[in-house]
Amino acid sequence: METLEGAELCFPQLLNTSCRKPARHAAEAGFLYVLLSCMSLLTVILNLLVIISISHFRQLHSPTNLLLLSLAVSDLLVGLLLMPAQVLLLGGCWLLGSVMCGLFYYASFILTSASVGNMVLISIDRYVAICDPMCYPTKVTHRRVQLCICLCWFSSVFYNGVILIEFLKHPDSFKSCHGECVVVIDFVTGAVDVWVTFVGPVWVIAVLYVRVFVAAVSQARAMRSHAAAVSLQGSAGVTARRSERKAARTLGVVVVAFVICFCPYFYPSFASKEMSTSTGFSIFGVWLLYCNSCLNPVVYAFFYPWFRRSIKRIVTLQILQRDSCDAKVM
C-alpha cells in the first residue's frame, strides 16, 4: 500500500492530514493550465468590451442592453474570480484557506443564479417587445429594468446565502484532508435548488420564446402580404419590427447556449445524487457552465453589428475622443 510519505502532498508538513496531489502527466497538466487560463482571459476581455460598449455609447442605453450589461457583469466576474480559482483547483490543492473556499463557492452560486435571473428578464423583455410592441415603451422603462436587475442580484445573494448557510458557517465540514475545497449539497436541497435555479426558469423562458416565435411568424406573414401597400412611415415600422425580431432571434441563441451549458451542472440533481464539487463529472459541468460566460459575447459579436462597431472604436481608442459617447454605432 502506498504511504503518504511517498506521495506528493499539498502540505508536506502535515503528513497525516494533508491531501495528495492527483497523478497527472506534466504535458497534460500544462496543456490544461494554458487552455483554461486563456479561456479565463478571453472571458474577461470579451465581457469587458460588452460593458464598455453599452456603458459608453449613449445610443446603446436601451432597456434590453441594460439587461445585457447585467449579464456581462456576471460573466466578467466568472472569468475574473471563478475561473482562476478553478484553475488552481486543477492541481488538486486549495491553498487559500477555509474562508476563501467558502467565499469562492458562495460567489459561484450567486453568479450562477444571477445569470439565470438575467436570462429570464431578457426573455420577458423580448416577449413584451414582440407580442405587445405598442405598449413596450411604457411597460419596459429604464427605471423598471434597473429595479428588476437590482432585485435579481439581491435575490441571488439572499437565496444562496440560505442554501449555503451551514457551509458558510463551517466551511471545513466537508473536507476529508487539508488542501481540499469542496461543498456537498444533500439531495433535498439540491432538488429544490435545481427547480428554483434551473427547471422553473427554463420553463418560463421556453414558454415565452414559443409565444415570441409564434408572434414573429405572424408579423412576418402580415408584412409580406401588405408589402406593396406600405408607406414610408410604415416602412420605418416594418424595419423596427424586423429589428426586434432579429434581437429576439439573437437572444434566443444565447438562451439555447445557456441551457446546453447549464444542463450537465445540474445533472446530479436529476440523477438523484448528492451534488459534490469534487467529482470529475461535476468539474466538467462547472467548466462547461463557465464556457457560457465566454460564449455570450461571441454570440453578440457574430449577430450584433453595433457590438462589432463598438469594438473597433474601443480598440482604436476612438472612445477617448471628445463626444465619442454620441457616436452612431447602431
105-152 per-position pLDDT tens digit: 899 999 989 988 998 998 899 889 888 888 888 999 999 999 999 999
What would the pLDDT profile of 33-42 be if each residue is shown by its tens digit? 888 889 999 9
Mean pLDDT of 299-324: 85
Q: Which three cell numbers stand for residue 201?
A: 426558469
Contacts of residue 287, defined as CB under 8 A and 6 or more positions apart, other chains included, come to 36, 86
- The pLDDT value recorded for residue 222 is 67
Q: Report helix, strand or coil for 178.
A: strand
- Length of the chain equals 330
DSSP-H helix ranges across 92-141: 97-131, 136-139
CATH match for 62-222+236-286 among 1.20.1440.230, 2.130.10.10, 1.20.1070.10, 1.10.3720.10:
1.20.1070.10
Say what percent of the chain tops pLDDT 90.
23
**Residue located via cell numbers 425580431:** 245
Q: What's phi and psi for 183, nearest 5 deg?
A: -125, 140
* Of 83 and 243, the one with more pLDDT: 83
pLDDT at 279 over 70: no
What would the pLDDT profile of 312-329 be if each residue is shown by its tens digit? 999 998 888 888 888 888
Contact 223, 241 (CB under 8 A): yes
- The pLDDT value recorded for residue 49 is 92
Q: Please state, rounded to an integer, the average pLDDT across all residues of the chain.
A: 80
Contact 65, 247 (CB under 8 A): no
What would the pLDDT profile of 163-179 be if each residue is shown by its tens digit? 888 888 887 777 778 87
Contact 91, 9 (CB under 8 A): no
E strand or H helix at 185: strand 184-185
The letter for the amino acid at 253 is V
- The pLDDT value recorded for residue 287 is 81
- The pLDDT value recorded for residue 226 is 59
Domain coordinates in residue numbering, the chain: 62-222+236-286
Q: What's phi and psi for 95, nearest 5 deg?
A: -105, 5
For CA atoms 107, 111, 117, 121, the dihedral sign is positive
- The pLDDT value recorded for residue 323 is 84
Q: Report helix, strand or coil for 14.
A: coil
